[in-house]
Amino acid sequence: MKRLLLLIAVLALFALPAAALGTSPSHAASVSCKAQLRLIGTTDFVHLYGTMGRCVARMSRLTAAQRQILLSAEQKCRAAQRADSAAFEAKWGKNGNKENAFGKCVSATASASH
């Protein structure tokens, strides 16, 4: 739940009208969400968004550049998590069970990139 709230906060920072770049915003958002699902896996995707529909709704409010920043942040965090999961959780996990580590990493990385 906290992970989802953290993601909402990150998306609120980037919430700008979606620009139509040859495709509809909902199509671009759907493609972005499918890429995220493949990248971060089902478990983390469900923790972040809950459903594909919620992801598409949130991503459709972002520009293409903002969606790319978010995807890039997720890739960097996933690589760091795979490299050393214990160190990753120690650095980013702030609640008792460290479940919010991935969301915190994505939030901080995306904010730093923006």
The pLDDT value given to residue 97? 66
What whole-number distance in Å separates Cα of residue 111 and Cα of residue 84? 23
Q: 17: pLDDT confidence band, cut at 50, 70 and 90? A: very low
**Can you give the length of the chain in residues?**
114
pTM above 0.75, yes or no: no
- Residue-wise over 1-11: b if at least 16 C-beta within 10 A, else e? eebbebbeebb
pLDDT tens figures, 46-63: 877 889 999 999 888 888
Is a pLDDT exceeding 60 seen at residue 113? yes
CA 43 vs. chain centroid, Å, equals 13
Domain count of the fold of the chain? 1
Cβ(60)–Cβ(18) below 8 Å:
yes
Does an H or E element contain 54, and which?
Answer: helix 52-59
Which domain, by its residues, includes 9? 2-113
